[in-house]
Amino acid sequence: MVVLRFRSDKVRQTCTDLARMRRSWGPVVARQISRRLQQLEAMTNLADLKFLPFDSHEHDGGLIEVTITDRLSIFIERGPDMSEGDTPMYTIIVIELRAPRPRHGCHDL
């Protein structure tokens, strides 16, 4: 099970406030952002990124870029692992939502 957290309230609002997302990127991209966050939450662990229908790249230092569009990506990092009873829980921290990074120093997941 994956638990999605946000680096700050500002990042949470940027990624979850539908009115703000529509103003910033339009309704189509706002839906894509919401869908991508749902897909991340549906994973069982970070290894699932390899099997999902979108590109992701790990940059040096453990920062993972998850593609939304060719002009927008969500940047995440692995948080602390936890458990609830016998169920392992993997934390993903959403760092920011912004333009993609250049692809040097990264590898596809």
What does each C-alpha distance from 79 to 2, 64, 93 come to in angstroms? Answer: 10, 12, 6
Domains of the chain: 2-101 (3.30.2310.20)
Interatomic CA distance for residues 26 and 93, integer angstroms: 24
Alpha carbon distance 84, 19 (integer Å): 34
7, 11, 16, 21: CA torsion to nearest 10: -160
Distances in Å between the Cα of 100 and the Cα atoms of 5, 54, 62, 89 are 21, 14, 15, 28
pLDDT tens-digit series, residues 58-107: 988 889 999 999 999 999 999 988 887 888 888 999 999 998 876 655 56
Q: Exposed, middle or buried, 87 (CB in 10 Å: 0-12/13-18/19+)?
A: exposed
Report, as an integer, the average pLDDT of 27-51.
93
Look at residue 68 in the predicted model and tell me its pLDDT: 95
Alpha carbon of 77 to those of 28, 29, 57, 99: distances in Å?
26, 22, 11, 17
Can you tell me the mean pLDDT for 42-55? 90
In sequence order, what are the beta bridge partners of 38? none
